[in-house]
Every structure is written in C-alpha cells, then in structure tokens.
Amino acid sequence: MSKLTNLLNNSESKFLYPQQKITKNIITSLDSTLHLPSLNGVSLEIYGDKSSGKTSLLYGLISEIQSQNQNCILINSDFSFDKEYAEYKGINLDTLMLLNVNNALTILVLLDKFPNYFIFIDSIAGIEMNKIDIDMLFTIKNQQNQTLIYTNQIRMNRSKVTSYGKKLLKYYTDIRIKLDNKGEITIIKNKFDKEIK
C-alpha cells in the first residue's frame, strides 16, 4: 500500500511526498482506496498556498487520464496555461480541449455539451461564480457523469484562512486535497470513506 493510499484513509495524516511521484500514482491510489473502478463522476479539489504545486499536480493528472484514452477538457480560467510545461508533464496537446474562459455562464453551457468528459479547472477561483452558478456546475456534472477536478486558492480573510467558494464547494466536493509550500499533502475530505465525511 502506497503512502498516498494510507494518506487517503486518514484525513489527519500528513506526509512529505515528492510531487513527481504523486502524479504518477495518485489515480491508482484513489481507485484502490475508494474501491472504485475509475474516477468517473468524482469531484476532486486541489487547494493550497501559492506556488505549492497545485497546477503541477493537476497537469500530472491530466496526463495520466489521457494515457487511459479518456477525453479531457481544461478550463484555463486564469489564462496562465504553460504549453511547454504541460508537454513536459506529459499532456497531449493534440487531444486536450483547452478553453480560455472565465465566464461562469459560458462554462456551464460548454460543460452541458460534453457528457462523460473529465473536466479540469485551473483555477476555480478565477471564475466569478455565485451560489446558483456553483449549484448548476455540480448539477450538470452529475447529470453528465463528468469527473470534475479543480484547483483552488487559499486566502486570508480577517486573519482567517479560507478558500474560494467557502462552505458550498466544500459541501459538493467528494475529495479535497490540501498542498503547502513544504511539499506536505493532506487529505481533508474523502466522501467515500465511512470515517471521513
């Protein structure tokens, strides 16, 4: 059993784990831990400090999912997509559907047209979304059996650390992974684990 699999079994466990190794094994570890045949239909949040490796992990996941002949859409809401780095992480740019858009309505319309896709958003904090938009995002995701994987930012709000979307995104998301600048990864939420809800 890998360190990451152990990590998924305990939301309070923390390990120093090289990001390059995580991107190669995280999907297998998730499937094994959650007892799922695949990540189809799952929502996963990767959030943390600035420059903590969120996009790096996201790119690694895209590469691995593409290697399984799955269709992937990347919503580049921050308009910061790095083509060379994406190729370095193993992303096939010829098959990746890249959308440079940060308008919530446009994104919802587009997602409604692509059932059974793996949807990646980098980052959800770059999209101006209200409660209704977030409700609709996850409603469409569930209706279309889409997998939603997104990065999020940590913010300081009156000396309190928060993330974009606050309680609503936390409620909807199945699995939440927190990264920090020390390379430490914490599984905050795993909806599929009976002991972690």
- What phi and psi values does residue 26 have, to the nearest 5 degrees? -65, -40
- What phi and psi values does residue 35 have, to the nearest 5 degrees? 60, 45
pLDDT, one tens digit per residue, over 69-79 is 999 999 999 99
Domain range for 157 is 41-180
* HSE toward the beta carbon, residue 88, CA cutoff 13 A: 9
pLDDT number for residue 187: 78
- What phi and psi values does residue 171 have, to the nearest 5 degrees? -70, -45
196 is a domain residue? no
Nearest Cα neighbor of 45 from 134, 143, 156 is 134
pLDDT number for residue 164: 57
Report strand pairing: 72-75 vs 118-121. parallel
pLDDT number for residue 15: 36
Q: What is the dihedral of CA 47, 48, 49, 55, to 10 degrees?
A: -50
pLDDT number for residue 150: 94
Q: How many helices (H) and strands (E) does the chain have?
A: 7, 9
pLDDT number for residue 196: 53
CATH number at residue 117: 3.40.50.300
3 is a domain residue? no
82 is a domain residue? yes
172, β-bridge pairs: none
102 is a domain residue? yes
Nearest Cα neighbor of 152 from 19, 56, 54 is 54
Residue 12: exposure state from Cβ atoms within 10 A (0-12, 13-18, ≥19): exposed
109 is a domain residue? yes
pLDDT number for residue 86: 95
74 is a domain residue? yes
Neighbouring CB atoms inside 10 A of 17's CB total: 17
Q: What is the dihedral of CA 38, 91, 124, 2, to 10 degrees?
A: 50
Q: If the chain, 197 residues long, is cut into consecutive pieces of 10 residues, what is the mean pLDDT of each piece?
A: 35 35 48 55 88 87 88 94 93 96 92 90 89 91 91 68 66 87 78 64
Neighbouring CB atoms inside 10 A of 143's CB total: 11
Query: pTM of the entire structure?
Result: 0.80
Count of structural domains within the chain:
1
31 is a domain residue? no
173 is a domain residue? yes
pLDDT number for residue 2: 32
pLDDT number for residue 121: 95
Report strand pairing: 160-163 vs 118-121. unpaired
Tokens of 133: 């938009």
